[in-house]
Amino acid sequence: MDDLFAPPQYEWKRLAPPYRTLRRITTAIAAAVFVIPAVIFAVLLPQVWWIGLIVAVVGLAFTVPRWILIERHYRSWGYVEREDDLYITHGVMFRTLVAVPYGRMQLVEVESGPLERAFGLAHVTLVTASASTNATIPGLVPDEAARLRDTLTQLGEAHASGL
């Protein structure tokens, strides 16, 4: 079954290690969004402290599993540049393999938000004519993101010229 999502004949490139730390920080922020208001609510309205407890438990029920799966999520990502297409695989519970033919690419975007920039990361998004294409590679160092952007743009132009 693993061969279905990561054919072994190719060397898969992985995400940069700081991506794990970024995921841990975003998970901690998400937990804080639930827990801090819950504690404040419980302190300000002690007669209904249980409402704050429920909010905190619900928040932790969402963030604790995410925290536990960060390493597996990180290891699940990979991409490989083949002769005619780009393969992207990811997913822990629900595995996904996306094959994007170079000739179908319309746009290659490189983006980096404030937290990503703080960790020296960027992500590349491929836009095709299909609205359902989910071809994003997060957690790349800027040099790799720029190289991938340039390579994919060049390959996309070369393959599209034959259409």
Task: Pick the last residue of a domain from 72, 92, 118.
Answer: 72
The number of domains in the chain is: 2
Compute the Cα dihedral for 44, 48, 50, 55 and give only its sign.
negative
- Whether the Cβ atoms of residue 156 and residue 107 lie closer than 8 Å to each other: no
Q: Are residues 85 and 53 in the same domain?
A: no
Q: With respect to residue 96, please indicate whether it lies within any of the assigned structural domains.
A: yes
pLDDT at 2: 63
Query: Which positions of the chain have pLDDT values less than 50?
Result: none
Q: Return the structure tokens found at 144.
A: 């790799």
The DSSP output letter for 10 is S
> Model confidence over 97-120: pLDDT tens digits?
888 988 888 889 999 999 999 999
Q: Are residues 61 and 96 in the same domain?
A: no
Q: Are residues 91 and 29 in the same domain?
A: no
Rounded-to-integer distance, Cα 160 and Cα 163, Å: 5
Domain limits for position 35: 18-72
pLDDT at 64: 94
Instruction: Quote the distance between the C-alpha of residue 108 and its chain's center.
Output: 16
pLDDT at 163: 53
Nearest to 102 by CA among 79, 81, 83, 85: 85
Please state, as a whole number, how many other Cβ atoms lie within 10 Å of the Cβ of residue 65. Answer: 10
Q: Are residues 110 and 152 in the same domain?
A: yes
